């Protein structure tokens, strides 16, 4: 425990979780929109309504939460929110969905009956589950989801993971023999290579740094270290105070990483003793990187050879270094091999398990062995390996079309805007389903196609602990905070774990609810908390209801996190060979080498004003320019096509087309165009703001179907997809 970091003067006050004042009360809580789980305070008035969300500056992890966290109040108070369970009354092809209010017992029993009937008639796989991102931040719901999928006996488990990070899962299970995440030691590193991430806007993923207003990167430079970003766009994170961006061509990172590794190897920067002691298949790894020389890859990656060599020299010279890679690469075609090369770089240079390198942060429970592939599902397209990665999201539309999937249970997700595909594929498939059940806090484009919409309580209305970073072990400072519901759920909203537990009961499966419907949602956590000497009661008794945990020595990860039976890190996993990842790398290389130099490739771009698709109806996030998403292009590409800033343009490819406005900005490299996802709620008839300021769904340009996703990881291809751009009308 690190409770001593709290000064005695504020210790007394820190135990007050609710402070009354004449106007109402101030309650401590934490944000559950993304991974950092930033501490917050909520002002509640005398009528019991939340009137403000603010930072909690006294919290030891306090500081600057982002505007998404503070603006969540607009989602909480949204007049369009879902207040009670709804059942569809009209046809799915009607212009706007019509629903009637029903009560929970009816909703749950009807949904359970329909699921059972469909499974009886068409088999267990007829019912699919899609788990969206928000439920990962509900410490109780996340466990019930896996219970639901397992007990339905369906292989059709889809999640936002194949749009996000499953390449990381299969890399860790293949290399280390279990789902383990090593994070860069940002507080001590001398060199950070940050690839395909924009932490100033995203606030990191797979590393949890609460209330980071950008200081952690600036501190690296301030203490004499260096940060280099690799990104097609000169991003907000990159500045004179942090470090420069090497503007790579989209979807070529695997070649950059292979050549960089080769260069460092040639410079003698590998720790051969470490590789020998803890690695296996090292020779095969070395033969792979030896094929990729700096001079060979410079043209295809767009990074001049001298700059690649500079990174190699800097990494070798640094006392410690860490390579970190994120969604911009995950969503390319070769996220798994890129992730493997990044992990290998950290290991081979001796930075894995070293101060300032990468390490395993304390988590709840011990890392468990897990293979990359648990079984293969016999599909119409051949066998699909399932285990560390769930079903490929891009196959969902076709499986519905073929009648294999008849129902989707969509838990806190908005796949119609966040998965690849547009009207012709995804929306057409969802309209055909016999049963679509959604849980959400507000209506969305996806709920527009639902048969049942179940009204979930939001995170201000539910008690919780900071579960996600604790289950994954991704916190720089390992801690666990408890928060009570700031206000009780209004109307007939219920927590997701309660909804799912009731559904399990109705399916005759034991759930976490007891006979009287008493809450018991944290019970399953007792054992996990006990591994760290904690319990819910103990966390509650700590200042700020936050318990701090100790870190294990950094190099202990070789004993605790390498879970293959022989205790070795697999430097050239057989399953990468088996599922064709190495054949693919050669194929894609030949393709890129022959590519014409005026190809435009679409990449993703997060902004501080959207969180995937969920800030779409928040007025404060949709004013002025934020009402629409535009396509960004650099001046050279625009003038080559005779396009001007503000033009109304058509963006198209073989997958689909869309129209939007052009924004000419010099932050992108030639050949890369960028667009924000999460827009496109025009047909979401229940959203007053989002349907009138819809913007467009850029995912209709992403490929769907067999052969479009990365084998093994099943990642959708969402970054670096070729598009053509032409003017429709001169603007503005």
Ligand X SMILES: Nc1nc2c(c(=O)[nH]1)N[C@H]1C(S)=C(S)[C@@H](COP(=O)(O)OP(=O)(O)OC[C@H]3O[C@@H](n4cnc5c(=O)[nH]c(N)nc54)[C@H](O)[C@@H]3O)O[C@H]1N2
Return the one option of ligand X, ligand SF4, Mo ion, none that residue 336 interacts with (CB less than 5 to 8 A, by type): none
Q: Rounded to an integer, what distance in angstroms lies between the CA atom of residue 113 and that of residue 343?
A: 47
Give the one residue of 56, 78, 253, 710 binding ligand X; rule: CB under 6 A.
253
**Residue 63 neighbours by CB distance under 10 Å:** 17
CB of residue 36 to ligand SF4, shortest distance in Å: 4
Which tokens belong to 119? 């499974």
Q: Which of 105, 81, 216, 97 is nearest to 506 (CA)?
A: 105
Size of the site for ligand X (CB under 6 A): 62
- Which region among 27-35, 482-490, 551-559, 619-627 touches ligand SF4 (by CB under 6 A)? 27-35
CB of residue 732 to ligand X, shortest distance in Å: 25
Contact between 483 and ligand SF4 by CB under 6 A: the answer reads no
Asked if 254 contacts 338 with a C-beta cutoff of 8 angstroms, the reply is yes
Q: Rounded to an integer, what distance in angstroms lies between the CA atom of residue 118 and that of residue 113?
A: 9
**Residue 240 neighbours by CB distance under 10 Å:** 8
Beta strands in 456-503 (DSSP E): 464-465, 479-483
Contact between 512 and ligand X by CB under 6 A: the answer reads no
CB of residue 614 to ligand X, shortest distance in Å: 4
- In the bound state, the residue with its beta carbon closest to ligand SF4 is 69
User: Helix, strand, coil proportions of the chain in percent (round to 5)?
Assistant: 35, 20, 45
- In the bound state, the residue with its beta carbon closest to ligand X is 328
Contact between 209 and ligand SF4 by CB under 6 A: the answer reads no
Torsion of CA 658, 661, 667, 672, to 10 degrees: 20
243/412 with CB nearer Mo ion: 412
- Which region among 3-11, 107-115, 327-335, 633-641 touches ligand X (by CB under 6 A)? 327-335
The SS3 assignment for 254 reads: helix
Return the one option of Mo ion, ligand X, ligand SF4, none that residue 196 interacts with (CB less than 5 to 8 A, by type): ligand X
How far does the chain reach from its first CA to its final CA, in angstroms? 58
327/379 with CB nearer ligand SF4: 327
CB of residue 10 to ligand SF4, shortest distance in Å: 22
- Which region among 225-233, 367-375, 510-518, 556-564 touches ligand X (by CB under 6 A)? 225-233
195/321 with CB nearer ligand X: 195
435/618 with CB nearer ligand X: 618
CB of residue 192 to ligand X, shortest distance in Å: 13
326/542 with CB nearer ligand X: 326
> Residue 722 forms beta bridges with which residues?
601
33/525 with CB nearer ligand SF4: 33
Residue identified by tokens 């270290």 is 225
Return the one option of Mo ion, ligand SF4, ligand X, none that residue 38 interacts with (CB less than 5 to 8 A, by type): ligand SF4
Give the one residue of 227, 427, 603, 621 binding ligand X; rule: CB under 6 A.
603
CA distances from 387 to 48, 123, 365, 411 (A): 45, 21, 20, 20
Q: What is the 3-state secondary structure (H, E, C) of 52-88?
A: EEEECCCCCCCCCCCHHHHHHHHHHCCCCCCCCCEEE
Name residues contacting Mo ion, limited to 318-337 (CB under 5 A).
none
Contact between 28 and ligand SF4 by CB under 6 A: the answer reads no
130-162 burial, b if ≥16 CB within 10 A, otherwise e?
Answer: bbbbbbbbbbbbbbbbebbbeebebbbbbbbbb
Name residues contacting ligand X, limited to 350-389 (CB under 6 A).
none
Which tokens belong to 662? 């052009």
Ramachandran assignment for 281, one of left (phi > 0), alpha (psi -120 to 50 degrees), beta (any other): left
- Which region among 26-34, 375-383, 544-552, 635-643 touches ligand SF4 (by CB under 6 A)? 26-34
Give the one residue of 60, 69, 161, 695 binding ligand SF4; rule: CB under 6 A.
69
Q: Rounded to an integer, what distance in angstroms lies between the CA atom of residue 417 and that of residue 701?
A: 12
H or E segment and range at residue 274 = helix 272-278
Contact between 461 and ligand X by CB under 6 A: the answer reads no
CB of residue 106 to ligand SF4, shortest distance in Å: 35
Name residues contacting Mo ion, limited to 136-195 (CB under 5 A).
164
Asked if 58 contacts 602 with a C-beta cutoff of 8 angstroms, the reply is no
- Which region among 28-36, 281-289, 383-391, 540-548 touches ligand SF4 (by CB under 6 A)? 28-36
Q: Rounded to an integer, what distance in angstroms lies between the CA atom of residue 380 and that of residue 213?
A: 48
Return the one option of Mo ion, ligand SF4, ligand X, none that residue 534 interacts with (CB less than 5 to 8 A, by type): none
The SS3 assignment for 638 reads: helix
53/445 with CB nearer ligand SF4: 53
Q: Rounded to an integer, what distance in angstroms lies between the CA atom of residue 41 and that of residue 26?
A: 6
Q: Rounded to an integer, what distance in angstroms lies between the CA atom of residue 41 and that of residue 32?
A: 13
Contact between 614 and ligand X by CB under 6 A: the answer reads yes
H-type alpha helices, 291-334: 294-301, 305-317, 327-330
Give the one residue of 225, 250, 367, 711 binding ligand X; rule: CB under 6 A.
250
Give the one residue of 97, 195, 500, 689 binding ligand X; rule: CB under 6 A.
195
DSSP annotation of 456 reads B
70/156 with CB nearer ligand SF4: 70
Contact between 33 and ligand SF4 by CB under 6 A: the answer reads yes
Return the one option of Mo ion, ligand SF4, ligand X, none that residue 429 interacts with (CB less than 5 to 8 A, by type): none
Contact between 188 and ligand SF4 by CB under 6 A: the answer reads no
Give the one residue of 68, 493, 632, 669 binding ligand SF4; rule: CB under 6 A.
68
CB of residue 653 to Mo ion, shortest distance in Å: 24
Q: Rounded to an integer, what distance in angstroms lies between the CA atom of residue 583 and that of residue 461?
A: 50
Name residues contacting ligand X, limited to 39-78 (CB under 6 A).
68
Residue identified by tokens 């944000």 is 31
Return the one option of Mo ion, ligand X, ligand SF4, none that residue 253 interacts with (CB less than 5 to 8 A, by type): ligand X
Q: Which of 376, 508, 433, 385 is nearest to 130 (CA)?
A: 433
CB of residue 195 to ligand X, shortest distance in Å: 5
What DSSP string describes 121-178? HH-GGGEEEEE-SGGGG-TTHHHHHHHHHHHHT-S-EEEGGGGTTHHHHHHHHHHHSB
Return the one option of Mo ion, ligand SF4, ligand X, none that residue 351 interacts with (CB less than 5 to 8 A, by type): none
Instruction: Give the gyration radius of the chain's Cα atoms.
Output: 25
149/373 with CB nearer ligand X: 149
Beta strands in 426-506 (DSSP E): 435-440, 452-455, 464-465, 479-483
Contact between 456 and ligand X by CB under 6 A: the answer reads yes
Return the one option of ligand X, ligand SF4, Mo ion, none that residue 451 interacts with (CB less than 5 to 8 A, by type): none
Size of the site for ligand SF4 (CB under 6 A): 11
Q: Rounded to an integer, what distance in angstroms lies between the CA atom of residue 703 and that of residue 721?
A: 8
Contact between 233 and ligand X by CB under 6 A: the answer reads yes
Return the one option of ligand SF4, Mo ion, ligand X, none that residue 448 interacts with (CB less than 5 to 8 A, by type): none
Contact between 609 and ligand SF4 by CB under 6 A: the answer reads no
The SS3 assignment for 695 reads: coil
Q: Where along the sequence are the contacts to ligand SF4 (CB under 6 A)?
A: 31, 33-34, 36-38, 65-66, 68-69, 203
Q: Where along the sequence are the contacts to ligand X (CB under 6 A)?
A: 34, 68, 132-134, 160, 163-164, 195-199, 201-203, 205, 230-233, 235, 248, 250-251, 253, 326-329, 332, 412-415, 418, 439-442, 444, 456, 458-459, 496, 603-606, 608, 610-614, 677-678, 698-699, 718-720
């Amino acid at each position: 425990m690190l409770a001593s970091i709290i000064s005695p003067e504020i210790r007394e006050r820190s135990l007050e979780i609710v402070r009354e004042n004449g106007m109402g009360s101030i309650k401590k809580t934490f944000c559950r929109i993304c991974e950092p789980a930033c501490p917050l305070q909520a002002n509640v008035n005398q009528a019991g309504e939340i009137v403000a969300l603010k930072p909690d500056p006294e919290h030891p992890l306090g500081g600057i939460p982002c505007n998404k966290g503070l603006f969540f109040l607009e989602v909480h108070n949204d007049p369009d929110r879902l207040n009670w369970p709804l059942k569809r009354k009209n046809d799915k092809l009607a212009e706007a969905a019509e629903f009637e209010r029903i009560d929970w017992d009816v909703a749950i029993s009807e949904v359970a009956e329909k699921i059972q009937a469909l499974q009886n008639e068409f088999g267990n796989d007829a019912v699919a589950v899609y788990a969206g991102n928000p439920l990962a931040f509900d410490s109780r719901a996340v466990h019930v989801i896996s219970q639901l999928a397992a007990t339905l006996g369906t292989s059709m488990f889809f999640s936002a993971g194949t749009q996000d990070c499953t390449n990381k899962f299969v890399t860790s299970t293949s290399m280390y023999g279990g789902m383990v995440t090593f994070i860069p030691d940002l507080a001590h590193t001398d060199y950070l290579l940050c690839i395909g991430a924009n932490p100033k806007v995203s606030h990191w993923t797979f590393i949890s740094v609460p209330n980071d207003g950008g200081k952690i990167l600036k501190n690296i430079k301030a203490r004499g270290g260096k940060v280099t970003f690799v990104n097609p766009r000169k991003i907000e994170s990159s500045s004179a105070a942090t470090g420069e961006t090497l503007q790579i061509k989209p979807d070529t990172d695997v070649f950059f990483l292979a050549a960089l590794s080769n260069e460092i190897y040639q410079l003698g920067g590998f720790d051969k003793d470490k590789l020998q002691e803890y690695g296996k298949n090292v020779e095969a790894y070395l033969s792979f990187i030896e094929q990729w020389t700096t001079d060979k890859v410079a043209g295809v990656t767009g990074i001049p050879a001298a700059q690649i060599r500079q990174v190699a020299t800097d990494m070798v010279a640094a006392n410690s270094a860490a390579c970190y890679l994120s969604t911009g690469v995950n969503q390319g075609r070769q996220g798994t091999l890129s992730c493997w090369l990044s992990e290998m770089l950290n290991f081979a240079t001796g930075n894995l398990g070293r101060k300032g390198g990468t390490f395993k942060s304390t988590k709840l429970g011990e890392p468990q062995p897990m293979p990359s592939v648990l079984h293969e599902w016999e599909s119409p397209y051949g066998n699909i390996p399932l285990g560390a990665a769930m079903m490929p999201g891009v196959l969902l539309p076709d499986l519905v079309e073929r009648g294999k999937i008849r129902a989707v249970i969509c838990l806190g997700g908005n796949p119609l805007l966040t998965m690849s595909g547009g009207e012709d594929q995804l929306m057409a498939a969802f309209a055909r389903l016999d049963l679509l059940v959604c849980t959400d806090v507000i209506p969305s484009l996806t709920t527009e196609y639902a048969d049942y919409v179940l009204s979930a309580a939001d995170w201000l209305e539910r008690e919780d602990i900071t579960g996600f970073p604790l289950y994954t072990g991704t916190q720089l400072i390992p801690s666990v905070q408890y928060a009570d519901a700031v206000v009780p759920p209004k109307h007939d909203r219920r927590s997701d774990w309660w909804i799912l537990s009731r559904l399990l009961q109705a399916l005759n499966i034991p759930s976490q609810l007891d006979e009287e419907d008493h809450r018991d949602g944290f019970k399953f956590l007792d054992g996990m908390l006990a591994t760290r000497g904690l319990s819910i009661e103990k966390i509650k008794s700590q200042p700020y209801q936050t318990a701090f945990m100790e870190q294990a020595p950094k190099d202990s990860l070789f004993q605790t996190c390498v879970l293959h039976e022989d205790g070795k890190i697999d430097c050239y996993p057989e399953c990468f060979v088996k599922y064709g990842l190495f054949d693919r790398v050669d194929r894609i290389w030949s393709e890129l080498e022959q590519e014409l130099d005026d190809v435009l490739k679409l990449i993703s771009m997060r902004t501080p004003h959207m969180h995937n698709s969920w800030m779409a109806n928040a007025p404060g996030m949709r004013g002025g320019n934020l009402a629409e998403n535009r396509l960004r292009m650099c001046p050279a590409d625009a003038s080559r096509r005779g396009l001007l800033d503000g033009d109304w343009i058509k963006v198209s490819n073989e997958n689909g087309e869309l129209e939007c406005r052009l924004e000419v900005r010099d932050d992108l490299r030639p050949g890369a165009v960028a667009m924000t996802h999460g827009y496109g709620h025009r047909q979401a008839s229940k959203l007053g703001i989002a349907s009138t300021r819809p913007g467009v769904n850029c995912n209709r340009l992403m490929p769907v179907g067999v052969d479009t996703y990365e084998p093994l990881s099943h990642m959708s291809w969402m970054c670096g997809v070729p598009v053509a751009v032409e003017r429709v009308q001169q603007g503005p």
